[in-house]
Structure 1
Amino acid sequence: MSKIIELLQERSMSPSETRHRLLLPVVLAAMFMYGFDLNVVNVAIPSLQHDLRAGQVALELVVGGYAFAYAAGLVTGGRLGDLFSHRRMFLLGMTAFTAASVLCGIAQTPSELVAARLVQGLAAAMMVPQILALIMSSFTAAERPKALAWFGVTAAVSGVFGQVLGGLLLDADVLGLGWRVIFLLNLPVGLAVLSLAARVLPPAAIVRDATLDPVGVVGVSGSLALALVPLVLGRGEGWPTWCWIMLVASVPAALLTLSYERRLLARGGAPLLDLSLFGVRTFSAGLAISVAFMAYFTSSIFVVSLLLQNGLGLTPLRAGLTFAPMALAGVVAPLVGKRLIVSYGATRVILLGCAVDLVATVLLAAMLQVQGGDIGVPWLAAALALMGLGNTLILPALIGATLSGVQPRQAGIASGTLNTTQQFAGSAGLAVVGSVFFSVLGDHPSGATDYASAAEIAAWISVALVIAMAALTGVLARGSHPSAPAAARETALSTRR
């Protein structure tokens, strides 16, 4: 915030230059709020159980319902931005997100909190797709690598900061609010972002003459619901029959939706899904890498969190602070990564990040195998720091490469599709790796040794996912323009001149 104030006070810049400089921190603040709220509730679960008498299903919906509502609405949110302007949808989404956060903070029953979290997730789905679209449309080709680097670091560290700052806030018991402060904090932040966004976001573009495709909205959201609800709730419910029925039904539902979208396009309509995006090799390959990346990242954080708190007996504050080196590495990495992207190209930077992540996951698996339940927290913090370095080398380069072939008019729907894919992959990865973890752990774990053994198996799965990321990057490289690094350097030089 102090940086924003300093920028406002710089009289040497014209008003338009000041607005342009402020645009990135304003939209990234929204990205941070989304990621923070996705993860901060994990450290508040014991408090929610005590204060609201929330049961297991309610707790799973508080955590997973937000992610489900967000994923289900992302594609629609991206399309709405294309139709009614990214500025309008960003402001509307931020307003709804701030209001929903207040409803979360004042909830008196588990049902009220679950309902507010669902609204919060839908509001995030309206807001987040506009962030990438605004970056792609507001910054020049020379400016985008830096902007995307900061987007990547914000996306990567916001969740980690959610655990670190969440632990600090709960430990401090700010104003005696307990867990409520993690939601009510969004009120002053949201109002500040809205105030600045109204001044710095570019004017709303003329609305295109197109329809929303309500059948597509229902089909896409319904297909995602059939897949995500059992993935979110299945483990906690013991994978009952209805979970498998929904998962199986999601496949024909998705195929029918795609068939309808193709027919609508053939008739000259405007389908919700822009299927031409999947004909762009960089976009399709980038989505595939994103699936492996998010499955790896989400499941790794989940498993290490359980190992720290349930296995090693750390408090939420100490467990959160163990992730601090990961967050710090995530802040430092883009300072180097953005230069590497310009000099060597996005695919090489992704491969470098994969190499760092591979070292981190192999190190973690080896330490768990050798030390077991006696593993030291500093060793875990070191492995997490390497993960933070690798992840924030990969993410901005991956986003830039994935969207490199997307036309400006497709920015909103492409961003929504990318975010939906990432969210679905994270939920699926968490469900699959989490199921393996709990199967190895057993119903009655005896202590740190059992948790370490289960975490070791999960770590070796992460090794396989990182190797898959590196292999898929080869496909992405074949779809990229061979002279991309040179072109990027030339663009940067011409801009300076």
Structure 2
Amino acid sequence: MPPRSATDPAPSSLREQSAAEEYRPDPKRWSALSVTLVVGFMSLLDVSIVSVALPSLQRDLAATPATVQWVVSGYALTFGLMLVPAGRLGDAFGRRRLFLIGLAGFVLASAAAGAAPSVAWLVAARLVQGLAAGCLAPQNSALIQQLFRGGERGRAFGLFGATVGISTAVGPVVGGAILGLADGPGGWRWLFYVNVPIGVVAFLLALRLLPRGGGGGRGRIDVVGVLLLGAGALAVLFPLVQAESGGLSRLWWLFLVGAVLVAAFVAWERRVVAHDGQPVFDPRLVTQTRGYGIGAALGTVYFVGFSGIWLVFALFFQTGLGYTPLQSGLAVTPFALGSASAAVVAGRLVERYGRRLTVLGLAGVVVGLTAAAVVLLLVPPSAAGWAIAPALLVGGIGGGFVISPNITMTLRDVPVAMAGSAGGGLQTAQRFGAAIGTAALPGLFHLVLSATGEDYPAAAAAGLAVSVVGALAALALGVVDLRRNRAEDAADAGDVADDGSPVPDERHGPDGVHTHGHAWHG
């Protein structure tokens, strides 16, 4: 069969897409994964690493608190906006190409941020840096889909999940360490400069190791869909990233605008699919791909607490107890260590235990964070840093069994040709959850602090309680998905003829891809 051209129509069903995906193991796949994980760690670390440097940034650049906050929130905003379009571009034009473009942009923007002569320059560089990071992120998960199968894919996603968990948790530690080494005026610039040599080396290695091709060979881009999704995401995210400067009270109406735009985006994408077009995000990923919709929802509610809790801990330890940024980061290191080690183990077990790992992990998170809240309320503040460590370790081990198995279970039945947009959609959902958490939990912390006359343990415990609620909501979704998977697997086990041969089942493509009883007809 001749290769498909960019102008050929897309396959009309998931079976046709799966049949077209012939897998040949790349001998350089583990080396390529190492490069993408280093880059992924670097880009995700930049979400939180800068937060510890905001006081020195504000002083050195003579900036207002509201302006300097954009150094953090601007990066998070453009990061989230770019994920789905970049995933689709990678599917259409090649993941290697998009990865290299994003990495080059990230390195250049990091250098510009480090050399910024003014806060306006720095904010602009951070906006570009966020766009580049959003371009990189979906290529990471898509390349795993492309390069690995079976148990190897689970192990690869385990490493990817460990990278996500560690980078989120250790940002304050790394930031505090860099500021400690680069003490004095302008020391914050090294938070950005450190990306440059790492990024240059990674770029050279990626040129050599990443596989060529890998795109879907479909070069049409749904411009209307990109604009609707971008505008809708901007309307929802903007009040959240402006929360600390009163964005929620001033800009609440943007949530309504965002809801209308997202609804229009969904209607448009359905229309594109109905006319055999190429949507920026195919809604059938949610409605017809086993595990994708509920996995994305689980990731969203989990990240509400998982992302926001680090700001609560930073406020508690630094403002309440007078810790330095490095000491504050070290106090929460047990969670990062537990999460990292458990994520690697979970990657090896996910093919065998599936969604059960996520359920077990979420139960561990609930127990660990609940215990942490109780410890903060009962022990003297001077002993809180040590006393909370065992509870955080338990919560971290649980967290390690959540992120990487959920990524694997959410993306495992996605056609490789759509891996970029699917990964971008999943990470966008997580970014929305993170934006909500980073706005809501510190806000609740300050609210309880004011109501209790600066009772810092009570304020921190309230933030932890919200994280526990988010984990419980994710746990409920995990249990629902586990029960549904068991029911479907039991039904599949009965699909045999009298002679023991399998009965053809529309729910499965030729590679075992499950589509909930529906073929993907355009």
Range moving further from structure 2, 78-87 or 301-310 = 301-310
User: Counterpart of 2:460 in structure 1: which amino acid?
Assistant: A
Q: In the alignment, which residue of structure 2 is the partner of 1:473? A: 478
Q: In the alignment, which residue of structure 2 is the partner of 1:311? A: 320
Q: In the alignment, which residue of structure 1 is the partner of 2:500? A: none
Q: In the alignment, which residue of structure 1 is the partner of 2:139? A: 130
Q: In the alignment, which residue of structure 2 is the partner of 1:460? A: 465
Shift of 1:326: 2.3
Evaluate the alpha carbon distance shift between residue 336 and residue 52 of structure 1 in structure 2; reply closer, same or farther with a 3 A threshold. Answer: same
User: Counterpart of 1:256 in structure 2: which amino acid?
Assistant: A
Query: After the TM superposition, which residues 168-247 of structure 1 pair with which residues of structure 2 at under 5 Å, given as runs?
Result: 168-173=177-182, 177-205=186-214, 208-237=217-246, 239-241=248-250, 243-247=251-255
For 2:442 and 2:170, the matched residues in 1 are separated by: 22
Q: Is the 8 A contact 1:372 1:452 kept in 2?
A: no
Q: Is the 8 A contact 2:222 2:278 kept in 1?
A: yes
For 2:247 and 2:140, the matched residues in 1 are separated by: 38
Range moving further from structure 2, 136-145 or 265-274 = 265-274
Q: In the alignment, which residue of structure 2 is the partner of 1:5? A: none
Q: In the alignment, which residue of structure 2 is the partner of 1:410? A: 418
TM-score (norm. length: structure 2): 0.85
Give CA deviations for 1:223-266 in whole Å, capped at 9, x if unaligned. Answer: 0100101011033226443x112122111111112112222222
1:389 aligns with 2:397: yes
Please point out which of 363, 371, 376 is paired with 1:368.
376
User: Counterpart of 1:403 in structure 2: which amino acid?
Assistant: L
For 1:316 and 1:239, the matched residues in 2 are separated by: 28
1:441 aligns with 2:449: yes
For 1:123 and 1:134, the matched residues in 2 are separated by: 17
Shift of 1:411: 0.3
User: Counterpart of 1:19 in structure 2: which amino acid?
Assistant: K
For 2:279 and 2:349, the matched residues in 1 are separated by: 38
Evaluate the alpha carbon distance shift between residue 342 and residue 180 of structure 1 in structure 2; reply closer, same or farther with a 3 A threshold. Answer: same
User: Counterpart of 1:327 in structure 2: which amino acid?
Assistant: A
Q: In the alignment, which residue of structure 2 is the partner of 1:7? A: none
TM-score (norm. length: structure 1): 0.89
Give CA deviations for 1:101-149 in whole Å, capped at 9, x if unaligned. Answer: 1111001111111110000000011111001000111012121111010
Q: In the alignment, which residue of structure 2 is the partner of 1:286? A: 295
For 1:206 and 1:46, the matched residues in 2 are separated by: 44
Please point out which of 351, 355, 368 is paired with 1:347.
355
Shift of 1:375: 5.0
1:358 aligns with 2:363: no
For 1:206 and 1:51, the matched residues in 2 are separated by: 45
Evaluate the alpha carbon distance shift between residue 278 and residue 402 of structure 1 in structure 2; reply closer, same or farther with a 3 A threshold. Answer: same
For 1:231 and 1:95, the matched residues in 2 are separated by: 29
Evaluate the alpha carbon distance shift between residue 231 and residue 206 of structure 1 in structure 2; reply closer, same or farther with a 3 A threshold. Answer: closer
Gaps of 5+ in 1: 1-15, 492-497
Q: In the alignment, which residue of structure 1 is the partner of 2:436? A: 428
For 1:430 and 1:177, the matched residues in 2 are separated by: 27
Q: In the alignment, which residue of structure 1 is the partner of 2:281? A: 273
Q: In the alignment, which residue of structure 2 is the partner of 1:248? A: 256
For 2:355 and 2:85, the matched residues in 1 are separated by: 30
**Between Structure 1 and Structure 2, which shows a larger proportion of helix residues?**
1
1:262 aligns with 2:267: no
Evaluate the alpha carbon distance shift between residue 44 and residue 36 of structure 1 in structure 2; reply closer, same or farther with a 3 A threshold. Answer: same
Q: In the alignment, which residue of structure 1 is the partner of 2:489? A: 482
For 1:446 and 1:189, the matched residues in 2 are separated by: 46
Q: Is the 8 A contact 2:162 2:344 kept in 1?
A: no
For 2:34 and 2:102, the matched residues in 1 are separated by: 17
User: Counterpart of 1:364 in structure 2: which amino acid?
Assistant: A
1:68 aligns with 2:50: no
Range moving further from structure 2, 135-144 or 202-211 = 202-211
Evaluate the alpha carbon distance shift between residue 461 and residue 209 of structure 1 in structure 2; reply closer, same or farther with a 3 A threshold. Answer: closer
Q: Is the 8 A contact 1:282 1:479 kept in 2?
A: no
Range moving further from structure 2, 420-429 or 370-379 = 370-379
Q: Is the 8 A contact 2:291 2:409 kept in 1?
A: yes
User: Counterpart of 1:477 in structure 2: which amino acid?
Assistant: L
Evaluate the alpha carbon distance shift between residue 240 and residue 124 of structure 1 in structure 2; reply closer, same or farther with a 3 A threshold. Answer: same
Shift of 1:434: 2.8
Evaluate the alpha carbon distance shift between residue 459 and residue 174 of structure 1 in structure 2; reply closer, same or farther with a 3 A threshold. Answer: closer
For 1:206 and 1:302, the matched residues in 2 are separated by: 38
Q: Is the 8 A contact 2:158 2:345 kept in 1?
A: no
Q: Is the 8 A contact 1:368 1:375 kept in 2?
A: no
Please point out which of 22, 43, 48 is paired with 2:57.
48
For 1:141 and 1:195, the matched residues in 2 are separated by: 29
Q: Is the 8 A contact 2:295 2:410 kept in 1?
A: yes
Q: Is the 8 A contact 2:445 2:463 kept in 1?
A: yes
Percent identity over paired residues: 35
Evaluate the alpha carbon distance shift between residue 174 and residue 453 of structure 1 in structure 2; reply closer, same or farther with a 3 A threshold. Answer: closer
For 1:100 and 1:192, the matched residues in 2 are separated by: 16
Give CA deviations for 1:425-468 in whole Å, capped at 9, x if unaligned. Answer: 1101222233222211229x865xx2211111122222222221
Q: How many residues align?
A: 466
Q: In the alignment, which residue of structure 1 is the partner of 2:388? A: 380
Q: Is the 8 A contact 1:210 1:270 kept in 2?
A: no
Shift of 1:386: 2.3
Gaps of 5+ in 2: 1-24, 494-510, 512-522
Q: In the alignment, which residue of structure 1 is the partner of 2:330? A: 321
For 2:395 and 2:275, the matched residues in 1 are separated by: 48
For 2:184 and 2:57, the matched residues in 1 are separated by: 17
For 1:271 and 1:340, the matched residues in 2 are separated by: 34
Shift of 1:175: 9.7
Q: Is the 8 A contact 1:372 1:453 kept in 2?
A: no
Range moving further from structure 2, 80-89 or 453-462 = 453-462
